[in-house]
Structure 1
Amino acid sequence: MINKTGSRDAHAGIARPDDDPAGASINGPAAAAIADLERRFGDPWDPGNPTGHAAVLAADEAGEMLAAGEQLLDGYRLNAEFVPPELGGRLARLDHLIEVMRVVFRHDPCLGLGYGAGSLVPAVNVWAAGDARQRRRMAEVLLAGGRAVSGYHELAHGNDFARAEFSALPGDDGRLRLNGRKEVIANARRAEAMVIFARTSAAPGSRSHSQLFVEKADLPAGAPVHLPRFHSAGMRGVQLGGLEFRDCPIPADAVLGAPGLGMETALRSFQVTRTALPAMTAGILETGLEVAARFADERVLYGRSLAGMPHIRSILADAFTDLLICDCLGTVTARSVHLLPGETSLYASAAKYFVATLLMDATYALSRVLGAQFYIRDGGYGIFQKHLRDLAPAGFGHTARVACLSTVLPQLPRLARKGWLDDAQPPAGVFHLGADLPPLPFERLSVSSGGRDSLSASLSAALGSSELDGELRRLVLVIAAEQADLQRECAALPPGDLTVAARPEALRLAARYAAVLAAIACVNIWLHNQERHDAFLSDPRWAVAALGRIAERVGRDSGQRPRHVTERLSAEVLSRRRDRRGFGLSNRRLPG
């Protein structure tokens, strides 16, 4: 048995091939579908595999999308993952979508973004605000294997969408006229459908912009004008271009929802994409962890295996822990979209910031294991360098991390004075991996949590659990102290710190809130899944490591983990690498 101080032998309870837990969060047909996708990709280390690491690196060097990968995803009908079931697709659960796309990102992030996420972002806006015709047409485009793109950004204004100059103003014939340009769009040349954020009124204020659903087939000849591709360090295979429109007519009914609600539609839709995209890109860290563990196993230094050196094992353990934190926060936030849609404007933005930050920090830390091999772009370990370059967009995507903090910050004072004083608990299904979920409630997503935050209330409930003792209880008390200090400081925030002119100290409060939320997700995932047949998930040592890493980030812990905890985590990393298992909560068997 495991005692709650985690004093068991470091190698005990490591999952072996004959005790496959069949995935911690995915069951039934969804698990079978993911297994099918894994089989299609095959063993990435096989040099003859047309979608393996060697082929991915060759496509990257050529600056091209991996053609064999796109054919594979065509055969799998990946676009069906982005379409709700009532429209003929498979988008029933956000956590399932994340798991599917994580497989794609793990093999080739260019496929993940260029084939997958690039179409998901515009589609979600149509599901959230489109009428029956628009929803049907977007579904038809995607299910036929087509691509959709979104046009939010203008380089002159970045994430400040309210200042967007691209316009769609009425012409004399009653149709809207598109004028302006949108830059840095994935698949701009290949897309059949577009969702464009545009100014639809010359009046000042927040109701001057709308989102438009436009099909290229409906545009006049010569429209739009395609702008040259931007050169990029990462995602080199993704076709990043731009679109320019010059007095281009489109139907007046192209507007998604009521005119002037473009910003509101975007903020509601972002709750799905801010949750999903960083969690998907955790597949990049998975590959980085596998490469680093493989290198450590194979490299001998001074007559000793690198994998046996305490410093190397510590780096592997920390990166693995960070991946598990990302998994916990991403999973809880994804399930909250279904079960707590009125609160997810808060959780999604916090998760986007924290998960993206951890993924980049952990992958860079792993580069220290590879040493000089980290700089090499080909050979057996070249895939690490490619994935590291491809990870950078996860930090901004369609909204930068600081923009996510700016979404959280204005909500904190009300939470401090009201929401965090309410002890109403979230539904247990938020934390129970694999539990059933209701359909995605696009219509119930709100631009603000309204002062509600039931996930934060669950920390006090966790402290009341008899399962919690030893080092894990101590760390939960540390997080509770951070939560109390955060409440006091947020309640005292002046109005000037709730705007775009907020001081850095104020934004750091939003970052600290995201860290507390991550800790709450980790301890509750551990507490609520003790009945699952996964020895590692039941072991408190991973939760001790996770809360210790988070406490260290907020300056409340030394960062010195007990040796038996580090040994348990590093042994699990090396075991999973050797047994061809994934590194996330699912602990799923992989090809090879």
Structure 2
Amino acid sequence: MTTATTGLTPKRADELDHLLGSLSDPANPTGAAAILAADERTEMLAAGEARLHSYGLNAEFVPPELGGRLERADHVTEVMRTLYRRDPALGLGYGASSLIAAVTLWTAGAAPQKEHAARLLLDGRRIAIAFHELAHGNDMAGTEFEATAAPKGLRLSGRKEVVTNIARADAMVVLARTDPRSGPRSHSLVLVDRAGADPARLTDLPRFSTVGMRGVQLGGLRFDDLRVPASAVLGPVGSGLETALKALQITRTVLPAMATGILDTGLRLTVDHLSRRRLYGAPATALPHVRSVLAGVFADLLRAEAHGAVGARALHLVPGAASVYASAVKFEVSRLLLEAMDRLAELLGAHFYLREGPTALFQKLLRDLAPVGFGHIARAACQMSLLPQLPLLARRTWAGSGAEAPGGLYALGQPLPPLPYDRLALHAAGRDPIAGSLHALVDAPWAADHADLRDAGAADRTELAELAGVCGRLSPVELGVDARPEHYDLVTRYVRLLSRTACVQVWRHSEPGTFLADPAWLRAALHRSPRGAHRPGPLPAQAEDALLTELVDRHDTGRSFGLTARPLAV
């Protein structure tokens, strides 16, 4: 049985992995030893940045019409997994921070602004996304940084804090208040070219030290009446919050999906260590508990990547629903990764804590993974954004009247149209083709030996109907920030149901003869995602054996543990 899915992995992901070389080679300047040394110095890996520059990584963030390679959200995700798999600080500090700024520009920028940004990125420069103010966190509407009217332009005043690469960026996209009144039109996005800015009006703030991502340049900047031309505003004045909320749907989807590379390496390090460690006369991997945890983590990695892959394809194929799916991916995939790495740490025991030796990279990966739950947007904020949409989803789609999703949403190897930045929406307007597909999915023909999977789908459809009944009755006063905990629990139930459906659909649309077409991984994924408040128990023996066989084979042949199962420079 083959394991790869044709078309899911761009060749350039393999080329980048080959360029960066073996992670385990102590002489490799971009291997684990060098990565750990740079982390101890709280520095970015200079050799890594040099190789990424020679590779032209920034082209991954620029659309083809502007000279780059940003055609598919799932492809940029797989390329960036190559970095997150070895050094998440390099992934964020060199790449993902510029991607966040870039998609904002591609969403709302005028042609000259886009061309300027593309030239900067293709020349290997950086663009920072300066939204954050410590006093307001994820509350973008509370931003106090001001842009006030000035002759022929604006004056910028205020502070931006905990911003990646702000001290070494050539340009930045700044969220600024352009109207002192509250409301959806109170803020604008401004493209600031630092090279042409008056340095007397800008003051770099001290770098912020962090527990993880220690090499990432997290800084701040104080603006003192910095003048910028009116042409620096992205889109119409007052459209900043709307643009940000649309564009960030892309990065809310792909950033957690990139971070699955961290769990991939964490799982590999754990298998390496436990295969060498002998307990009670046999390798530790022979112990039933160890086998159960490893198989469960493998299943969680697969379902995290399946959910992320469907979310990435939704950006292309059903962009009107992306406001729901992006928050769902961020909420669920980040949870899966955080919990899975914690379970691996328990297996490693004291060895997960060591900063030297064969398992030393694990503690860095564990620290670097933590921001996946709060960086860019917190998981709690995702719940808050999803809750108000549930009643309309329940009434318009969950009852079975919603439009079916295109089959290409789940066929991961199929081509995709260009990213439709102009079709992203603030609200899904009740559109949920993934959950809505449960009805046709259950009623479709099923093979006799897949009756258990059909029954699981039927139970999910019943769960969806129950959710629809509850959510459809929620009043507006029950959907705000002060909603009761049981209402936020509805979001958790819904997102888990969405993730289960995505996994079933990926399996149904997988290429025959591939690992993804084997129902063993799906049975494991569904078992790991029980309905309600139940915690998953041990996997069924047959599913556990099948996953462990695949896991060991991939480990021994140096292939990734995610959906692509591609060869790695291990």
Is TM-score (shorter-chain normalized) higher than 0.5?
yes
* Whole-angstrom CA distance in 1 between matches of 2:36 and 2:5: 29
Task: Give the structure 2 partner of residue 262 of structure 1.
Answer: 240
Correspondence for 1:9: none
| Offset at residue 175 of structure 1 (A) | 2.1
Deviation sequence 1:235-274 (CA, Å, 0-9, x none): 0000111111011111112111001111100110111010
- Deviates most, 202-211 or 539-548: 202-211
- 1:382 paired to 2:348: no
State which of 334, 348, 359 in structure 1 corresponds to 2:326: 348
- Name the counterpart of 1:297: 275
Match of 1:476 among 454, 457, 468: 457
Give 1:489 shift: 1.4
Range moving further from structure 2, 72-81 or 34-43: 34-43
Structure 2 equivalent of residue 178 of structure 1: 156
CA-to-partner distance for each residue in 1:505-533, whole Å, 9 max, x for gaps? 212211221111100110000001143x4
| Structure 1 stretches lacking a partner, 5+ long | 1-12, 14-18
Q: In structure 2, the residue corresponding to 1:278 is in which secondary structure?
A: helix
Residue number in structure 2 paired with 1:425: 404
Q: Counterpart in 1 of 2:117?
A: 138
RMSD between aligned residues: 1.4
**Residue deviations 1:109-164, cap 9 Å, x none?**
00110001110001111000010011111101100000011111211111111111
Mapped contact 1:373–1:381 kept (Cα < 8 A) = yes
Cα distance in 2 between the residues matched to 1:58 and 1:482: 50
* 3-state SS, counterpart of residue 293 of structure 2: helix
Cα contact 1:166–1:180 (8 A) shared by 2: yes
Equivalent position SS for 1:170? strand
Bigger relative CO (Cα 8 Å, ≥ 6 apart): 1
Map of 1:38 onto structure 2:
17
Corresponding position: 1:440 with 2:419: yes
Q: Which AA in structure 2 matches 1:299?
A: R
Q: 1:7 — aligned with what? A: none
The aligned counterpart of 1:274 is: 252
SS in 2 for 1:206: coil
| Greater shift in the superposed pair: 413-422 or 312-321 | 413-422
Aligned equivalent of 1:396: 374
Cα drift, residue 559 of structure 1: 2.5
Write the deviation string for residues 93-116 of structure 1: whole angstroms up to 9, x where unpaired: 101000000111101000110001
Match of 1:493 in 2: 474
Which residue number in structure 2 is paired with residue 26 of structure 1?
Answer: 8
Corresponding residue of 2:59: 80
Distance 1:94 1:280 in 2: 11
1:534-553 superposed matches below 5 A: 534=514, 536-551=515-530
Residues 218 and 250 in structure 1, CA contact (< 8 A), matched pair in contact too: no
The separation in 2 between residues aligned to 1:543 and 1:555, in whole angstroms, is 20
Map 1:302-381 → 2, pairs under 5 A:
302-381=280-359
Instruction: Quote the sequence identity (%).
Output: 49
- Residues 386-442 of structure 1, C-alpha deviation per residue, up to 9 Å, x if partnerless? 000000111122111111111111111011112223142100000011101111000
Give TM-score, length-normalised by structure 2: 0.97
The amino acid that maps onto 1:505 is E
1:203-242 CA distances to partner (integer Å, 9 max, x unpaired)?
Answer: 2322110111111012112342111111110000001111
Is the aligned partner of 1:92 residue 2:71? yes
Number of residue-to-residue matches in the alignment = 567
Report the counterpart of residue 211 of structure 2 in structure 1: 233
* Alpha carbons 1:548, 1:557 under 8 Å: kept: no
* 1:195 to 2:177 alignment: no
CA contact 1:24–1:587 (8 Å) conserved in 2: no
Q: State the secondary structure of the residue aligned to 2:256.
A: helix
Q: Is the contact made by 2:256 and 2:334 (CA closer than 8 Å) also made in structure 1?
A: yes
AA at the equivalent of 1:580:
G
TM-score scaled by structure 1? Answer: 0.94
Residue 582 of structure 1 pairs with residue 563 of structure 2: no
Match of residue 243, structure 1, among 218, 221, 225: 221
1:340 & 1:179 partners in 2: Cα distance?
39
Aligned match of 1:167: 146
State the one-letter code of the partner of 2:428. Answer: S
Rounded to whole Å, the distance in 1 between the matches of 2:479 and 2:146 is: 29
Counterpart Cα distance in 2 of 1:581 and 1:568: 17
